[in-house]
Amino acid sequence: MSKLAIAMKITLETAFHTTGNLRRLGVDRALARAPEGVPVLPATTLKGFLREKAELLLQAWGHPVCTGPEPDHLCKGPEPCLICRVFGSPRWPSSLHFSDGHLINEETTSSVRAGVAISRHRRAAFPQRLFFVETTSLPSTQWHARCEGYFPSPSLAQEAAALVALAARWGIAIGGGKTRGLGWIRQIEMEARIDDQVVPEAELKAIWQAWWEGRHVAEN
């Protein structure tokens, strides 16, 4: 078995929001927070963001992959697609396990923004639909996040690293309120290690090239 560990540094250029389970007086959608009270980028948010981008890219290149999040649209047979093999499905455990992202500058505070519910069909505001959303206070924040897992061979671990790196490069925004200008991504820097050895970017690019040509790594 080969261990894949991926460290990510996510730089956002706008305030960030993702709704947590805690309540806050005067706020309809409070930020997700760690037990010590600091804002976090939930592992589920990060994983869902990367999975969605990976699905879109591989589909655009003609690969037969699943389209979440509905369980009926995910792999049902004994051989999962590349997406389900890396990110999992209700019938196939995820090979990668994500941890919550944490602020590099933990002194970042939060602020509350007012919003109005909009009817996209009528292109007008709904009457009496004012709400309040808690966001990070700084317009630009940096987050550390990690994921790791075990794969049957180094080549499969390398394939998973390439998939995550590709999805990370493609994203525009993460979290809630993306259409309102929240969570816009400036850059996601990533370092992948297989059995504690750094994976060169050239090897990841070779895998992306194979996918763009319609080939799977397993065929090489």
Kind of pairing, strands 185-194 and 101-103? unpaired
pLDDT band at 151 (very low <50, low <70, confident <90, very high): very high
Q: Is the pLDDT reported for residue 126 higher than 50? A: no
The answer to whether 10 touches 142, Cβ cutoff 8 Å, is yes
Give the HSE-up count for residue 151: Cα atoms under 13 Å, Cβ half-sphere: 22
Question: What is the reported pLDDT for 220?
Answer: 41
Segment 205-212 shows an average pLDDT of 92
Share of the chain above pLDDT 70, in %: 85
Segment 153-157 shows an average pLDDT of 93
Lowest mean pLDDT among 116-130, 178-192, 195-209: 116-130
The answer to whether 10 touches 172, Cβ cutoff 8 Å, is no
Spell out the alpha helix ranges (H) of 131-187.
154-170
**Residue 166: both structure tokens together:** 């590709």
> Which pLDDT tens digit goes with each residue over 65-103?
887 667 777 777 778 888 988 998 888 888 999 999 999
The answer to whether 195 touches 154, Cβ cutoff 8 Å, is yes
Whole-angstrom distance, CA of residue 171 vs CA of residue 185 = 7
The answer to whether 20 touches 176, Cβ cutoff 8 Å, is no
pLDDT band at 190 (very low <50, low <70, confident <90, very high): very high
Out of 48-52, 111-115, 126-130, 213-217, give the one with best mean pLDDT. 48-52
Is residue 175 within a helix (H) or strand (E), and if so which, with residue range? none
